[in-house]
Amino acid sequence: MSFPTHRPRRLRQSPAVRRLARENHLVPSQLVLPAFVREGIDEPRPITSMPGQRQHTLDSLRRAAADAAEAGIGGIMLFGVPAVRDAVGSGADDPDGILNVATAAVAEEVGDALVVQTDLCLDEFTDHGHCGVLAGDGSVDNDATLERYAAMGVAQARAGAQLLGLSGMMDGQVEAVREALDDAGFSETLILAYSAKYAGAFYGPFREAVDSQLSGDRRTYQMDPANAREGVREALLDVEEGADVVMVKPALPYLDVLADVRAAVDVPVWAYQVSGEYSMIEAAAQNGWIDRRAAITESLLGIRRAGADAILTYWAVEAAGWLREAL
């Protein structure tokens, strides 16, 4: 009888050996919590399609940020839900707009314990729900939108955001915002470019979370799910324009793009585990069809393994708790 020459199972024989042989690790500082704050409410409102998530009041957002800091995660990404919207998204760069007010409150609450981050996009603030302003024919006007993003970026930096998440997928947005920040004296404000952001079905629950006004879709600016090379091209352009960090979004359906982008750039690469990814696991777990904690942990590890240096995830604080337990 001949014995196998190679025995990879040797490295799996016990918890101690497996621990020593583990290639990838998750630590709390690699997790960023996305959080929603809604103008004009007295109590936090549950988001039904995202069990466990809520639209915060300013007060409950402060508490959530303090808890996130306590949990040792890396940052918090803020999304605003304004009470009033208009065609150009005036609330976005108004210092009294909900997102800017919330940013100042969170920055004051957490100081340097978390990197305070803001979504830089118009969709929450426009009455038509698109990520940019519209031209006369109803199309999204790229260059007119850049001017709005530049103003929004400066307003967010002024409010205390340390990192701006440019999620609108307009051409030239990184360059436009970087230039405006530098001109206004915010040369230290970081830019996270949502470089490869795909137009897909997995943002469904987020639309409820921000009370989205969109009818139609974002296919003229977000990417076609069939394209991988184009994701790398977008990331390279963003790095050239001055992005400090690039991102791939959603995460699990685009792990190939994440790995390709990781190989192509030298800056940090992040991934966004989006609302639909969250809700699918929560729904399956509620039905008793999967082990919730194991599925969440495996999904986060998969995103790390594919090349993400950090992950935006609605489970950030809870997962950080598990990671500390496991140490």
- The catalytic residues are 197, 249
Q: How far apart are CA 172 and CA 185, in angstroms?
A: 20
Give the three-class secondary structure for 242.
coil
Contact 243, 271 (CB under 8 A): no
Choosing from 39, 93, 109, 123, the residue that interacts with ligand PBG (CB under 6 A) is 123
Contacts to ligand PBG from residues 18-37, by CB under 6 A: none
Per-residue mark of binding to ligand PBG, 242-271 (x: CB under 6 A)? ------------------------------
Rounded least distance, CB 59 to ligand PBG, Å? 23
Contacts to ligand PBG from residues 271-290, by CB under 6 A: 274-275
Residue type present at position 158: R
- 121 touches ligand PBG by CB under 6 A: yes
Rounded least distance, CB 181 to ligand PBG, Å? 19
Q: How far apart are CA 64 and CA 109, in angstroms?
A: 10
- 203 touches ligand PBG by CB under 6 A: yes
Between β-strands 45-46 and 163-166, what pairing exists: parallel, antiparallel or unpaired?
Answer: unpaired
- 195 touches ligand PBG by CB under 6 A: no
Euclidean distance between the first and the last CA atom of the chain, given in angstroms as a whole number: 43
- Which among 115-123, 149-157, 293-301, 316-324 is the span making contact with ligand PBG, rule CB under 6 A? 115-123
Strands (E), the chain: 31-38, 45-46, 54-56, 75-81, 115-120, 163-166, 190-197, 245-249, 269-272, 310-312
Residue nearest ligand PBG by beta-carbon distance? 206
Q: Please, which residue, 70 or 225, has the CB nearer to ligand PBG?
A: 225
φ and ψ of 78, to 5 deg = -95, 140
Contacts to ligand PBG from residues 153-182, by CB under 6 A: 167
Between β-strands 310-312 and 31-38, what pairing exists: parallel, antiparallel or unpaired?
Answer: parallel
Residues that bind ligand PBG (CB under 6 A): 119, 121, 123, 131, 167, 203, 206, 218, 274-275
